[in-house]
Structure 1
């Protein structure tokens, strides 16, 4: 008999959105791999320090250093870079020295600092996936270290399948949620469940195009339906509240 519960599929990773904003991250190395890691970290608003001799920085990493987007320590890694007072939240190595990378990884394990050793899956506490980004939308594809290039191809396919304007529609949903919390600020479990349930219904019934077309007046009108538990259509919102929209019958309904 098939189980009514999900089957366990071991061997995966726990996919998380790590909130690294404002936290200290150490990147060891200054080549192409390091450059990619730095972009991801800066997009997440991390405070990045690059440890690498100046002559080891590639053009992109040198640009980040010169623009003061990252701090730079002009030498090889030393244990003092992970002293407790530095409050390093994670460390990433991207150097062409497997033995040095392993020594750094072991030191990180001793200090309980999460580490990613580039191209050495057994020495990684976490992996980087291939990410599709559209404003607030982020979709990560991970092959758990088996095929990074394939992950990139799958990520591109997913991005091409998404409706145009998906990121913008998500921004509108975020604005709508904030408005809803203002008019219904209750913090009890019942209040939270009701807000989440109503927002879920709105997202299920409205299309990406509806959210993209929604303006401030539409949002203000929509949240007024919350207490009654109704989710109106986008057309009902516009028809009921907008004087600038003219609804006329032009005989084009296709009646025979």
Structure 2
């Protein structure tokens, strides 16, 4: 979907209607529906209905809604905040909207989009909290279905909790500094003991919990914290719930080059975003600079998310960052993510361990193959271990050469995944002897994972392309799933 396709044709907003006049024109079901919707508000509804249907007429009487029983006149829209034209007569509705627009009053004509200055949403009412679901008129039934789902999710006590929060707002503003400290207070307020007490109907206990929470938050001071968060292989729905929550709470997000923008965008809208990406031959910041920046931001009292592709503790240099934070006395937390080897195995439906075949799993980058001494992980490969090689394209030839030279059969199966776990992933399969071809495939521009071992033979190759069928140096369009 392009950026343009993802833009709304309307701007979501809420009108102030308390004690303001809102006109509803019509006698039938459409007018009745608008009047009921307005019944969720404090608007002063005026029903222009000269012959309302029986159930609508009863509703108007029961709710003490002012009724005007005369034919439409353009002067009737004057002084109103909103106008609803729901007469069932398309021409009359257009005339009503035309009069409202001439008076610069927003108007809505039922089932006539060109005569709608605004749309009425499907509404979930937890006053003063409201959730409005709109579809720009394209899918009102879908909007109602979403409304039903949201209504089930939100506690009925949510409005009472919001009212209680409002009573603490001035105290919070005077006692707690702006920024992360206030946000953490309100998060605890809305998700912890206070909310539980309100939901159980015990407002007095809720107030006691809220007062204790305010005192405790004030005493803790403005202490910054760093979170080393694994973004997983790049698909938004493979991010952990904890990672998502921390992104929504972060003041600053430092992200690597391999983290897709869509994942970075899942952070809080007004959080500062800093790219500290490192790719082969192109480093925007050195590791030492990143360490210093983490310490500096935390000392400013900010909550910092250091967002890393995959898992922070697997080839993520988190050890250096943790050491820097420990030395500076900065509190931190590590949030694991799905590492690319696991995503690649899932793409291939590949068992990384297989009873009776492979009981050992090795993660490596393969960059220690340049000397004459065979590394320990290579020796494990010879004994049947599954080996997952990160950043595998650039070392494919040396990995294959060393392993075959050490005695691993050249027909050992290999699985290759570019952009593991993502929608644009590419799958290739072949043998150890064919693996060196990988270095010449220029169309592979994303991160590449190579998995080698006897267990790989148990993978599903239906959606992958045979490496042996691709000529060296050729630019190919590989299988996409």
Q: Fold-level match, TM-score > 0.5?
A: yes
Per the alignment, residue 276 of structure 2 pairs with: none
Matched, 1:222 2:213: yes
Q: 1:91-130 alignment to 2 at 5 Å?
A: 91-130=83-122
In 2 relative to 1, CA 180–107 (structure 1 residues): closer, same or farther, beyond 3 Å? closer
> Structure 1 regions of 5+ residues with no counterpart?
1-5, 232-256
Can you give the 5+ residue segments of structure 2 that lack an aligned partner in the other structure?
223-481
Change beyond 3 A, Cα 1:177–1:82: closer
Task: Determine the structure 2 residue equivalent to 1:69.
Answer: 64
What are the residue-to-residue correspondences of 1:46-61 with 2, within 5 Å? 46-53=43-50, 56-61=51-56
User: TM-score when scaled to structure 1?
Assistant: 0.72
- Higher relative contact order at CA 8 Å, sep ≥6: structure 1 or structure 2? 1
Asked whether the equivalents of residues 27 and 93 of structure 1 are also in contact (C-alpha less than 8 Å), the reply is yes
**1:138-217 superposed matches below 5 A:** 138-160=130-152, 162=153, 166-181=155-170, 183-184=171-172, 186=174, 191=177, 193=179, 196-203=182-189, 206=192, 209=196, 212=199, 215-217=206-208
By percentage of residues, which structure has more helix? 1
Using the TM superposition, give the Cα deviation of residue 81 of structure 1 relative to its aligned residue in structure 2, in angstroms. 0.9
Which digits, 9 at most, give the CA deviation of each residue in 1:65-107, with x for residues without a partner? 3236211111221122134xxx211110111211111122222
Which structure's residues are more often strand, by fraction? 2
Flag the 1:105–1:195 CA change in 2: closer, same or farther, 3 A. Answer: farther
Q: Report the CA distance shift for 1:106/1:229 in structure 2 as closer, same or farther (over 3 A).
A: farther
What's the secondary structure of 2:149's corresponding residue? helix
Q: Which moved more, 1:70-79 or 1:206-215?
A: 206-215
Alpha-carbon distance in structure 2 between the residues aligned to 1:225 and 1:63? 54
How far did residue 227 of structure 1 move?
2.0
| Partner secondary structure for residue 167 of structure 1 | coil
Q: Deviation per CA, 1:232-254: give whole Å up to 9, x if none.
A: xxxxxxxxxxxxxxxxxxxxxxx
- Give the RMSD, CA atoms, in angstroms: 3.0
- The higher radius of gyration belongs to 2
How far is the alpha carbon of 1:128 from its aligned partner? 0.8
Q: Secondary structure at the match of 1:40?
A: helix
Query: Number of paired residues?
Result: 215
Q: Does 1:82 align with 2:69?
A: no
CA distance in 2, matches of 1:51, 1:115: 15
Q: What SS is found at the alignment partner of 2:17?
A: coil
